[in-house]
């Protein structure tokens, strides 16, 4: 079978033709060298064929070979593929997909020319309805496997346009290439556009690529971040080998439409400073907030990991007293500004870690909303919540594995799942957001 620049061939697609997945480095596949640790099991020395059973969290497909689990990317359940081992350890093989011998009838052509090389997306070879069903199945499996928790019969699925949705992008720079890390690599794959980025993100990518060709470009800059609400754009230097002069940002303001200095005022509702967290899906912000706060009622509410107040402002329109807790100083200043501008004087912002604040809290509020980082709440937070016993909790979780562990502890402490929703903030990728309402 012919090859194309050392790429990966998908065959058997009938009228849809053939799809190539390039290897994860620029070196032709036959000349790649892998360091394989001796594990006491038979090493895989050549290519092998496997049948994909299912998709798992992380974006890979799971198959089995001689009693070992094999993870391979860019595949769909039911497909027969030819693969090569990249890393082996007892019971587990991480493989590179070389060729799809029998393709799933669900397979489609990817919507991006960089798919399979760029590490930003994982599911572009699947229709979007299929992606949503796969994510729900993965969420249910994580709940059962890690949390020993039966998923609710009904899981609401909240979605929107799966393209042009990102309002934020981190762009890495290496050897005059600007783009994203390659799949399973720290190498940078250069891009001149991104189909999941918003129009303003793509304007910025185009402008930055042009600027990099000029002698004025600071060659010591390694990572940039672009954030936008489609009216204004914020540019942040995240990694550099030495300080960046002010004239660089003045130059960027000449080339990037709507570039602002300092904080960005998102939709005239949320001031977001350069180091403040904000959700990335511009189409689902309002529906995420509505899903998380639906049915919230009482006199007092607590918003932990509050950021700039995305949930806090909505809660303050429903509760008599709201406390928002955030550890980042810049985000707390943004939150206070946003609350004051909205006329929400009964919204109090506290700069503290969620753990420290909850430990000193003398009594439980009526409602607690938590949007923790990927690491989840953790045992200490779960134990403290079970001790305080607030009647109603909502967790907005970005990792189903840590969510499953947190839910196991809360359920053991007397809570039950009242409602669960999968909010697909990250189409074309394996990432998913889960909103869970728990009650006592």
Judging by beta carbons within 10 Å of its beta carbon (0-12, 13-18, 19+), is residue 343 exposed, middle or buried? Answer: exposed
Neighbours of 120 (CB within 10 A): 25
Q: Is the dihedral of CA 350, 355, 357, 363 positive or negative?
A: positive
Alpha helices in 294-398 (DSSP H): 312-316, 329-341, 354-360, 378-388
User: Closest by alpha carbon to 312, among 347, 354, 285, 342?
Assistant: 347
Identify the helix (H) or strand (E) that includes residue 409.
Answer: helix 400-412
User: Is 118 noted as a catalytic residue in this protein?
Assistant: no
In which residue are the tokens 């070879």 written? 125
d(CA 319, CA 16): 55
Whole-Å CA distances, 172 to 83, 94, 167, 437: 29, 25, 17, 38
- d(C-alpha 412, C-alpha 409), whole Å: 5
**Cβ atoms of residues 295 and 437 within 8 Å:** yes
- Cβ atoms of 151 and 138 closer than 8 Å: no
Please give the Cα distance from 72 to 105 (Å, whole number): 19
Residue of 431, 401, 434, 412 lying closest to 143 (CA atoms): 401
The helix/strand/coil state of 197 is: strand
Backbone angles phi, psi at 61, to 5 degrees: -95, 150
Question: How far apart, in Å, are the Cα atoms of 315 and each of 186, 344, 357, 362?
Answer: 41, 10, 19, 21
Which listed residue (112, 118, 121, 398) is catalytic? 398
H helix or E strand, kind and range, residue 369: strand 367-370
| Residue 225, φ and ψ in degrees, nearest 5 | -125, 135
By CB atoms closer than 10 A (0-12, 13-18, 19+), residue 322 is buried
Residues taking part in catalysis: 398
């Amino acid at each position: 079978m012919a090859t194309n620049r050392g790429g990966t061939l998908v065959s058997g697609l009938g009228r849809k033709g053939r799809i190539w997945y390039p290897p994860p480095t620029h070196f032709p596949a036959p000349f790649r060298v892998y360091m394989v640790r001796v594990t006491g099991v038979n090493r895989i020395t050549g290519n092998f064929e496997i049948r994909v059973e299912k998709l798992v969290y992380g974006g890979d497909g799971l198959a089995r070979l001689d009693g070992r689990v094999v993870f391979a990317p860019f595949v769909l359940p039911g497909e027969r593929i030819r693969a090569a081992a990249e890393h082996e350890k007892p019971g587990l093989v991480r493989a590179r997909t070389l060729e799809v011998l029998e393709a799933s009838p669900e397979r489609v052509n990817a919507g991006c020319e960089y798919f399979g090389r760029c590490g930003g997306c994982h599911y572009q070879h699947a229709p979007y309805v299929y992606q949503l069903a796969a994510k729900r199945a993965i969420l249910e499996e994580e709940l059962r496997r890690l949390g020993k928790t039966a998923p609710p019969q009904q899981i609401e699925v909240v979605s929107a346009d799966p393209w042009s949705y990102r309002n934020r992008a981190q762009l890495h720079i290496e050897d005059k290439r600007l783009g994203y890390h390659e799949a399973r690599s720290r190498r940078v794959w250069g891009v001149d556009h991104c189909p999941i980025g918003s129009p303003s993100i793509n304007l910025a990518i185009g402008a930055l690529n042009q600027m990099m060709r000029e002698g004025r470009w600071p060659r010591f800059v390694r990572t940039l971040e672009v954030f936008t609400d489609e009216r204004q754009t914020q540019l942040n230097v995240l990694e550099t080998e030495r300080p960046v002069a002010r004239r660089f940002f003045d130059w960027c303001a000449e080339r990037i439409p709507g570039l602002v200095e300092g904080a960005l005022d998102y939709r005239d509702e949320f001031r977001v400073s350069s180091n403040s967290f904000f959700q990335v899906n511009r189409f689902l912000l309002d529906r995420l907030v509505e899903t998380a706060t639906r049915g919230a009622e009482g006199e007092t509410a607590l918003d932990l990991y509050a950021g700039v107040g995305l949930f806090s402002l909505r809660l303050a329109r429903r509760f008599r007293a709201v406390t928002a807790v955030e550890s980042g100083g810049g985000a707390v200043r943004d939150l206070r500004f946003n609350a004051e501008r909205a006329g929400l004087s009964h919204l109090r912002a506290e700069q503290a870690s969620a753990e420290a604040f909850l430990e000193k809290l003398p009594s439980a509020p009526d409602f607690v909303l938590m949007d923790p980082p990927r690491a989840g709440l953790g045992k200490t937070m779960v134990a403290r919540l079970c001790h305080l016993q607030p009647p109603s909790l909502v967790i907005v979780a970005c990792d189903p594995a840590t969510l499953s562990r947190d839910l196991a502890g809360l359920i053991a402490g007397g809570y039950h799942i009242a409602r669960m929703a999968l909010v697909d903030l990250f189409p074309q990728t394996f990432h998913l957001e889960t909103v869970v309402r728990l009650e006592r």
